[in-house]
Amino acid sequence: MTLLEQAAQDIQQHNLTAAQQCYLKVLQAQPANGQALYGLGYIAQLRQDWPTAIEYLQRACQLLPQQPAPLLGLANAFNHVFSETDALTVLEYAKQQCPVDESIQYALTQQYLIMGDITAATSLLNTLLASSNPELFAFACLDAAKINTELLLPSHLARAQFFVAEQPQHSASIRLHYALGLIAKHCKQYDQAMFHWDAANALQFAECDFTVHDMASLFDSLLTINASTSSSNENMGFHDSSLPFIPVFIVGLPRTGSSLLDKQLCDLSTSSQQIASVGEVDYVASQCAHMIKQLTGYDYPECLEHMSNEVCHAARQCYIDAISQHRIKADFIIDKLPANFQSLPLIYRLFPEAKVLHLKRDLAATALSIYSNDFGAAEPYFCNLVQMQHYFEWYERIMTYFETVYSKNIYSLTYEQFINAPHEELKKISRFIGIDQTYKKMEREDVNRPHIIKTLSAAEARQPIYRSSSTIPDELAKYFIFT
Residues 284-299 pLDDT 10s: 999 999 999 999 999 9
Contact (CB, 8 A) for 480 and 364: yes
Give me the mean pLDDT over the 389-406 stretch. 96
Higher per-residue confidence, 432 vs 229: 432
Q: What is the pLDDT of residue 466?
A: 54
What CATH code is carried by the domain that includes residue 355?
3.40.50.300
Which pLDDT score, from 0 to 100, does residue 240 have?
A: 47
Strand order across the 355-360 sheet: 275-277, 332-335, 246-252, 355-360, 410-414
347 assigned to some structural domain: yes
Same domain, 327 and 455: yes
Residue 327 is assigned to a structural domain of this protein: yes
Asked whether residue 322 is assigned to any structural domain, the reply reads yes
Contact 435, 425 (CB under 8 A): no
Residues 97 and 223 in one domain: no
What pLDDT score does 235 carry? 45
DSSP state of 253: S
> Does residue 300 belong to any structural domain of this protein?
yes
Residue 100: partners with Cβ closer than 8 Å, 6 or more residues away: none
Q: How many whole angstroms separate alpha carbon 450 and alpha carbon 121?
A: 15
* Residue at a domain's end among 102, 121, 149: 102
**For the chain, what is the domain count?**
2
pLDDT for res 377? 78
Res 471: pLDDT = 75
Indicate whether 217 and 98 sit together in one domain: no
Return phi, psi of residue 276, to 5°.
Answer: -135, 165
| C-alpha distances in Å from residue 382, one per residue of 55, 253, 390 | 38, 11, 11
Contact (Cβ atoms closer than 8 angstroms) between residue 470 and residue 415: yes
Question: What is the per-residue pLDDT across 125-179, written as a single tens digit (0 to 9) for each?
Answer: 999 999 999 999 999 999 999 999 999 999 999 999 999 999 999 999 999 999 9
List CB contacts of 317: < 8 A, sequence separation 6 or more: 241
Whether residue 178 is contained in a domain is answered as no
Residue 438: the pLDDT is 57
Higher-confidence residue of 436 and 347: namely 347
Residue span of the structural domain in which 402 resides: 212-360+375-477
Q: In this predicted model, what pLDDT tens digit does every residue of 29-55 receive, in sequence order? A: 999 999 999 999 999 999 989 999 999
Q: Name the least confident of 97-106, 179-188, 396-405, 447-456.
A: 447-456
Strands 246-252 and 410-414: unpaired
pLDDT of residue 482: 74
In this structure, are 419 and 301 located in the same domain?
Answer: yes
Residues 317 and 464 occupy one common structural domain: yes
pLDDT band, residue 242 (cuts 50/70/90): confident
Domain match, 325 and 461 both: yes
Rounded-to-integer distance, Cα 243 and Cα 117, Å: 34
Residue from 415, 481, 483, 477 nearest 193 by CA: 477
Domain boundary among 102, 134, 169: 102
Digit-coded pLDDT (tens) for 16-27: 999 999 999 999
Mean pLDDT, rounded, for 302-308? 95
Closest to 77 measured CA to CA, from 99, 107, 97: 107
**Whether residue 88 has pLDDT greater than 80:** yes
481 versus 5: the higher-pLDDT residue is: 5
| Average pLDDT of the segment spanning 114-122 | 93
Q: What percent of the chain has pLDDT over 70?
A: 90
**DSSP character string of 446-458:** TTT------STTT
Task: Tell me, yes or no, whether 165 lies in a domain.
Answer: no
On whether both 303 and 425 belong to a single domain, the answer is yes
* Own/partner long-range contacts of 397-402 (Cβ < 8 Å, ≥24 apart): 397/219, 397/223, 398/219, 398/222, 398/223, 398/341, 398/342, 399/251, 399/252, 399/341, 399/358, 401/222, 401/223, 402/341, 402/344, 402/345
Confidence of residue 327 (pLDDT cuts 50, 70, 90): confident
Q: Is the pLDDT of residue 448 over 70?
A: no
Q: What is the pLDDT of residue 229?
A: 65
| More confident call, 301 vs 82 | 301
360/366 Cα distance (integer angstroms) = 9
Domain end among 102, 131, 153:
102
Residues 91, 104: Cα–Cα separation, whole Å = 7
CA distance linking residue 179 with residue 96, whole number of Å: 30
- Does a structural domain hold residue 160? no
Alpha helices in 187-249 (DSSP H): 190-205, 216-222, 227-231
Segment 326-329 long-range contacts (CB within 8 Å, at least 24 positions apart): 326/82, 326/276, 326/278, 327/82, 327/83, 328/276, 328/278, 329/244, 329/274, 329/276
Burial per residue of 320-331, b for 16 or more beta-carbon CB atoms within 10 angstroms, e otherwise: bebbeebebebb
Name the band, by pLDDT with cuts 50, 70 and 90, for residue 237.
Answer: very low
Alpha helices in 154-281 (DSSP H): 154-166, 171-186, 190-205, 216-222, 227-231, 258-266
Q: Considering only 87-101, 110-124, 463-477, which range has the smallest mean pLDDT?
A: 463-477
